[in-house]
Structure 1
Amino acid sequence: MILIGGSTGQLGKEVIAQLLRRNAKGLFAVLARDPEKAKPYADQGIEVRYGDYDRPSELGPAFAGIDRFLFISTMSQNRGEQQRHVVDAARASGVRHVAYTGLAIRDIATSGVRELMESHFETEDRIRASGMRWTFLRNTMYAEAIAQIAGPKAPAEGVFLPGGTGRVPYALRREMGEAAANMLLQEGHEGKTYTLTGPSSWSYADIVAALSRRAGRPLVYQDIPEAALADGLRAAGLPEFVIWLTLGTIRDIRDGQYDLPSRDLATLLGKEPQSLDEMLGAVFA
């Protein structure tokens, strides 16, 4: 039996959609904290197991009889503590194989968001030390983040960000969910680390060139100072944590931290990932 963690989140929903397309209903259960959010799964006859990562004493029953666990990382500011609870509960319950979704980055020690993202690698270390078999799916930045960071006006006005000439091998969340689901239904992935990125990398100038093709007119990419972006985010009333995360992420883009193109995503998909133009069509639809 497979258990899908983070089942009501965006990536989890994509994994489950692919499992259902692969006629795997009955081979997996979903882990959720909120019964209301999980109700659509229960309504489809999918087994729902409840557990709260902040309540480790309650996690044991959720893992009972589970052979393989897809551990989709959380976005909580106390992610490290939460995920220690999960790894320990899975090990104590006899889970055989954990597949963890982490981060594809060059050097976490020099990352602008190290304080949050280093917990990915701490979790990997804890899984390795647990004695459970493991597979690590190190995900690239979602293509959906282009729209979030560049803003909804980008298709009409261009991009104004301090990203320099940094490049990212973006991929759609849907395709990363599909790749994870395919892996869960196959054997032979234990002990492997997959860099789930696109086969090519793109800069903000490349993104604007693609948006210009869509708009039928030239748009501009302006590499603005980081302070100007920070001022704009504060003026928009965004919380300081979101501002810190946005600035640190763009700094990492500028510094080439995410520029890790790979064929791993294409291999697990069994096909080529979407092109930049196709991705932008999806995220700005």
Structure 2
Amino acid sequence: MVLITGATGNYGKSTIDFLLQKGFSSSNIVALVRNEEKASGLKEKGIAVRVGDYDNYTQLVEAFEGIDKLLLISGSDMVNRDKQHQNAVNAAKEAGVNHIIYTSFERKNETETSPITFVSATHIATENCLKSSGLDYTILRNSLYMDMLPMFFGDKVVESGIFLPAGDTKAAFAVRMDMAEATANILMTEGHENKTYNFSNSENVSIPEMAEIISEVVGKEIPYHSPSQEVYVETLTKANVPSEYIGMFAGFSAAIKQGEFTVEHSDLEKILGRKPTTAKEFLTKVYAS
């Protein structure tokens, strides 16, 4: 029996859909949700739904009863998710779960000097928690979703170009759907115990190269300007962009520039059994319309 946490979110829902497409029986899938009202579509597919919240340990123990493999999708509560993930791991152990597959995060710099320590610190702590739990684990170090780049570029990219302090460093961004399909493949097969996989693309592409791709797609030159962090933050602040978004955009841009997402080896292609979606394929789909 396989349980998917965050089952109504993009990653969880996509993983379930891929499991079903690949012939995995719906009777062997359990979906964990916080709000049962949002799970009607899952129930229609014949999937059992259990209610559980990462903050409620007792609830998690009950929800994990009878589960062999647990897909622990990282939570979105940046402040509390360290404790939430510990709750999930400890509850899984108490409930008798054998194997946890965890969606972690690609990174190189694991110190507090990292510009994305606000994201990576929790993942590092959760990985350590898993490794010391005594349970079988599989760690999926997901690269930054390529799906997020249009948000980083802004909705005026075709009119005014890309304004982002990411330099010209290449990165191996991958799309979330490819990661979800690879995750489904891992859930369906054996031999992944106590392994760490790097889910990045097979190619490294820079933001200037992406600007060139978008230019080809829309039929006009899309300029790319990489300002200093100070100018970037000042510009977005004057444009009344919420501070939490500015911090996120600036942090990830600095990480891209520092090569945090540049990889020489990725396991995604091997687990998928095909080439991951390329930057050109993704950007063409997004901007062709």
1:17 is the counterpart of 2:17: yes
Q: Tell whether the 8 Å contact from 1:56 to 1:86 is kept in structure 2 after alignment.
A: yes
Taking a change above 3 Å as real, the CA distance of residues 190 and 155 of structure 1, as seen in their structure-2 partners, is farther
Whichever residue aligns with residue 47 of structure 2, its letter is: I
Between 1:93-102 and 1:24-33, the stretch displaced more is 24-33
Between 1:137-146 and 1:107-116, the stretch displaced more is 107-116
Q: Tell whether the 8 Å contact from 1:2 to 1:69 is kept in structure 2 after alignment.
A: yes
> What is residue 58 of structure 2 aligned with on the other side?
57
Taking a change above 3 Å as real, the CA distance of residues 239 and 81 of structure 1, as seen in their structure-2 partners, is farther
Q: Tell whether the 8 Å contact from 1:79 to 1:119 is kept in structure 2 after alignment.
A: yes
User: For the residues of structure 2 that align with 1:75 and 1:168, how far apart are their CA atoms?
Assistant: 24
**Superposed CA RMSD:** 1.5
- Summarize deviations over 1:96-117 as a string: whole Å, max 9, x none: 0000010111112131121332
User: For the residues of structure 1 that align with 2:235 and 2:77, how far apart are their CA atoms?
Assistant: 25
User: For the residues of structure 2 that align with 1:144 and 1:273, how far apart are their CA atoms?
Assistant: 13
**1:218 pairs with one of 221, 227, 233:** 221
User: For the residues of structure 2 that align with 1:228 and 1:37, how far apart are their CA atoms?
Assistant: 42
Q: TM-score with structure 2 length normalisation?
A: 0.94
4+ long deviations beyond 6 Å = none
User: For the residues of structure 1 that align with 2:268 and 2:22, how far apart are their CA atoms?
Assistant: 18
Taking a change above 3 Å as real, the CA distance of residues 96 and 140 of structure 1, as seen in their structure-2 partners, is same
Deviation at 1:174, TM superposition (A): 0.6
User: For the residues of structure 1 that align with 2:84 and 2:13, how far apart are their CA atoms?
Assistant: 21
Report the secondary structure of 2:6's partner residue.
Answer: coil
Unaligned runs of 5+ in 2: none
> What is residue 130 of structure 1 aligned with on the other side?
133
> What is residue 96 of structure 1 aligned with on the other side?
98
Q: Tell whether the 8 Å contact from 2:107 to 2:120 is kept in structure 1 after alignment.
A: no
- Summarize deviations over 1:31-80 as a string: whole Å, max 9, x none: 11111222211122211111011111211111000000011111212110
> What is residue 185 of structure 1 aligned with on the other side?
188
> What is residue 167 of structure 2 aligned with on the other side?
164
Q: Tell whether the 8 Å contact from 1:105 to 1:257 is kept in structure 2 after alignment.
A: yes
User: For the residues of structure 1 that align with 2:236 and 2:76, how far apart are their CA atoms?
Assistant: 20
**2:176 pairs with one of 173, 177, 189:** 173
Whichever residue aligns with residue 51 of structure 1, its letter is: G
> What is residue 69 of structure 1 aligned with on the other side?
70
> What is residue 30 of structure 2 aligned with on the other side?
29
Whichever residue aligns with residue 52 of structure 1, its letter is: D
Whichever residue aligns with residue 102 of structure 2, its letter is: Y
Q: Tell whether the 8 Å contact from 1:169 to 1:261 is kept in structure 2 after alignment.
A: no
Deviation at 1:261, TM superposition (A): 4.2
Report the secondary structure of 1:100's partner residue.
Answer: strand
Report the secondary structure of 1:130's partner residue.
Answer: coil
Unaligned runs of 5+ in 1: none
Deviation at 1:166, TM superposition (A): 2.0
Q: Tell whether the 8 Å contact from 1:171 to 1:279 is kept in structure 2 after alignment.
A: no
User: For the residues of structure 2 that align with 1:142 and 1:262, how far apart are their CA atoms?
Assistant: 17
Report the secondary structure of 1:273's partner residue.
Answer: coil
Q: TM-score with structure 1 length normalisation?
A: 0.95
Whichever residue aligns with residue 95 of structure 1, its letter is: V
User: For the residues of structure 2 that align with 1:16 and 1:263, how far apart are their CA atoms?
Assistant: 23
Deviation at 1:236, TM superposition (A): 4.4
User: For the residues of structure 1 that align with 2:93 and 2:171, how far apart are their CA atoms?
Assistant: 35
**1:152 pairs with one of 150, 155, 178:** 155
User: For the residues of structure 2 that align with 1:262 and 1:17, how far apart are their CA atoms?
Assistant: 28
Q: When the two structures are aligned, how many residues end up with a matched partner?
A: 285
User: For the residues of structure 2 that align with 1:231 and 1:150, how far apart are their CA atoms?
Assistant: 17
Q: Tell whether the 8 Å contact from 1:162 to 1:223 is kept in structure 2 after alignment.
A: yes
Deviation at 1:176, TM superposition (A): 0.6
Q: Tell whether the 8 Å contact from 2:75 to 2:81 is kept in structure 1 after alignment.
A: yes
Deviation at 1:200, TM superposition (A): 1.1
